[in-house]
């Protein structure tokens, strides 16, 4: 037989994937504030660094495959049983595993747009068909429209609260109505990546939803409030049957021993108290930044996460370039808007100066 044209085809869905653009980094030693990836500006606690140092000595061994001790600690932290928790290397990986566990080729996955840019990618990788629902006024999720988008072919709905990149939360009563309208065989993923930054008393409590709805998965992470973005620890909580399915498709040994020990050290009461004080300081900074921006005349959505959103449309790319030139790295979504993370006081001050300059040129 003659050799065929020697090119391995990629899956059509993979060829068509939109890129996941990571937040830009400072270039070549230029002084810059990195406000492009919703990171926590504080470095790891000394106790967490010590846990990392000790754990690194076991790097020749595989980690505990299912991270039992960490799962136990997370379950106690959230108030669920250990059979209801599954960890992964970042909540984005856990989301991929969730979809892999339930989506058959061509199943529809409904999600808001604009929202977390990994959603269309993970859905396509899992073989699903993305169904996007535009945001409502003020960058809020349009839950009634999302419920109306559910068809007999829908397998999953993604609810991002607070929504990345716009910032508002859904309200508990809206989510209750949504869950009542959606059939019980449709999985509803509630992505609470920014939960610890939420200060809206009307926000839902993911764990309380789990008690009432067998079809809910709650997604959380140690990347944001707990400041471990670089170590990659996320988790999902769901009914034990679903958790078993998610575990079955998870990357074996997906969370390193170093990451497991750092996460455990972060969940100890003293560490946790200190980390949550830092979150409080970031929330205070968010309040200050939002007030200052409104004072400057900006119509920015109410954010309950560690970032703020500018609906700049076609001006987005030019404004981002101006910020970069002033040493402030922001995250543009071309043609749509610009997201700016809340960082240290000096970084936020530097950004507020940039925003004042944008104002002047409006
Ligand atoms: N969900 C949302 C809404 C996010 O914004 C992010 C991070 N940008 C994630 C999930 C994933 O975070 P990680 O993989 O670091 O846990």
The verdict on residue 302 lying in a domain is yes
Distance from residue 194's CA to the centre of ligand 1 (Å): 8
pLDDT for the residue 28:
66
Pocket of ligand 1, candidates 94, 223, 305: which has the most ligand atoms within 8 Å of its Cβ, to mutate?
Answer: 223
CATH at 252: 3.40.640.10
Task: Quote the CA–CA distance of 133 and 149 in Å, as a whole number.
Answer: 8
| pLDDT surpassing 70 at residue 33 | yes
Q: What share of the chain is helix, strand, coil (3-state, %, to 5)?
A: 45, 15, 40
- ipTM value: 0.99
Atom in ligand 1 nearest the alpha carbon of residue 222: 16
Q: How far is CA 103 from CA 98, 113, 186, 196, 252, in A?
A: 9, 20, 10, 29, 20
The pLDDT-based confidence of 132 (bands split at 50, 70, 90) is: very high
Angle at 93 between CA 89 and CA 98, to 5 degrees: 130
Pocket of ligand 1, candidates 167, 197, 218, 224: which has the most ligand atoms within 8 Å of its Cβ, to mutate?
Answer: 224
Do 354 and 330 reside in the same domain of the chain?
yes
Task: Quote the CA–CA distance of 251 and 323 in Å, as a whole number.
Answer: 39
- Looking at the 3D structure of the chain, how many domains does it have? 2
pLDDT for the residue 1:
56
Distance from residue 191's CA to the centre of ligand 1 (Å): 8
pLDDT for the residue 361:
67
pLDDT for the residue 148:
98
Pocket of ligand 1, candidates 37, 38, 90: which has the most ligand atoms within 8 Å of its Cβ, to mutate?
Answer: 90
What is residue 222's DSSP assignment? S
The answer to whether residues 135 and 113 touch, using CB atoms and an 8 Å cutoff, is: yes
pTM as predicted = 0.96
Do 263 and 277 reside in the same domain of the chain?
no
Pocket of ligand 1, candidates 92, 198, 341: which has the most ligand atoms within 8 Å of its Cβ, to mutate?
Answer: 92
The verdict on residue 77 lying in a domain is yes
Atom in ligand 1 nearest the alpha carbon of residue 92: 14
Atom in ligand 1 nearest the alpha carbon of residue 221: 16
Task: Quote the CA–CA distance of 240 and 276 in Å, as a whole number.
Answer: 29
Do 287 and 191 reside in the same domain of the chain?
no
pLDDT for the residue 339:
98
Q: How far is CA 270 from CA 148, 228, 360, in A?
A: 46, 17, 46
Task: Summarize the confidence of residues 110-139 as an average pLDDT.
Answer: 97
Q: Which of 235, 267, 299 is the last residue of a domain?
A: 267
Element (H, E) at 132: strand 129-134
Q: Which residues line ligand 1 (CB under 6 A)?
A: 38, 90-92, 116, 160, 164, 191, 193, 221, 223, 229, 234
The verdict on residue 5 lying in a domain is no
Do 295 and 340 reside in the same domain of the chain?
yes
Task: Quote the CA–CA distance of 41 and 32 in Å, as a whole number.
Answer: 13
Atom in ligand 1 nearest the alpha carbon of residue 116: 3
The verdict on residue 85 lying in a domain is yes
Task: Quote the CA–CA distance of 284 and 20 in Å, as a whole number.
Answer: 30
pLDDT for the residue 24:
77
Do 190 and 175 reside in the same domain of the chain?
yes
Q: In terms of residue numbers, what domain contains 160?
A: 46-267
Task: Summarize the confidence of residues 328-350 as an average pLDDT.
Answer: 97
Per the listing, tokens 């060829």 go with 15
Atom in ligand 1 nearest the alpha carbon of residue 305: 5
Do 256 and 352 reside in the same domain of the chain?
no
Do 209 and 113 reside in the same domain of the chain?
yes
The verdict on residue 6 lying in a domain is no
| pLDDT surpassing 60 at residue 285 | yes
């Amino acid at each position: 037989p003659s050799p065929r044209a020697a090119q391995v085809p990629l899956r059509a869905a993979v060829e068509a994937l939109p890129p996941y653009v990571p937040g830009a980094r400072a270039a070549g030693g230029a002084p810059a504030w990195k406000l492009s990836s919703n990171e926590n500006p504080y470095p790891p606690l000394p106790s967490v660094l010590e846990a990392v140092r000790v754990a690194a000595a076991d790097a020749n061994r595989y980690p505990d495959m299912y991270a039992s001790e960490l799962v136990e600690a997370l379950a106690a932290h959230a108030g669920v049983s250990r059979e209801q928790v599954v960890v992964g290397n970042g909540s984005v990986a856990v989301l991929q595993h969730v979809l892999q566990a339930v989506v058959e080729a061509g199943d529809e996955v409904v999600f808001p747009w604009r929202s977390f840019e990994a959603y269309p990618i993970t859905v396509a990788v899992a073989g699903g068909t993305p169904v996007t629902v535009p945001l409502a006024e003020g960058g809020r999720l349009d839950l009634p429209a999302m419920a109306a988008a559910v068809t007999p072919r829908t397998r999953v709905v993604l609810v991002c609260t607070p929504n990345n990149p716009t910032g508002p939360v859904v309200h508990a009563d809206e989510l209750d109505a949504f869950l009542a309208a959606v059939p019980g065989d449709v999985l509803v993923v509630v992505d609470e990546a920014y939960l610890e930054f939420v200060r809206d008393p009307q926000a839902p409590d993911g764990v309380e939803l789990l008690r009432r709805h067998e079809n809910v998965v709650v997604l959380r992470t140690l990347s944001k409030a707990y400041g471990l973005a670089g170590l990659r620890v996320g988790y999902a909580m769901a009914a034990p049957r679903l958790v078993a399915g998610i575990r079955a498709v998870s990357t074996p040994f997906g969370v390193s021993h170093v990451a497991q020990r750092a996460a455990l050290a972060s969940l100890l009461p003293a560490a946790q108290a200190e980390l949550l004080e830092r979150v409080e300081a970031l929330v205070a900074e968010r309040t200050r930044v939002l007030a200052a921006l409104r004072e400057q005349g900006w119509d920015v959505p109410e954010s309950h996460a560690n970032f703020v959103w500018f609906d700049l449309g076609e001006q987005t790319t030019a404004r981002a370039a101006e910020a970069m030139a002033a040493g402030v790295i922001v995250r543009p979504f071309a043609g749509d808007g610009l997201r700016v993370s809340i960082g240290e006081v000096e970084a936020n001050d530097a950004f507020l100066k940039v925003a004042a300059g944008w104002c002047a040129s409006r």
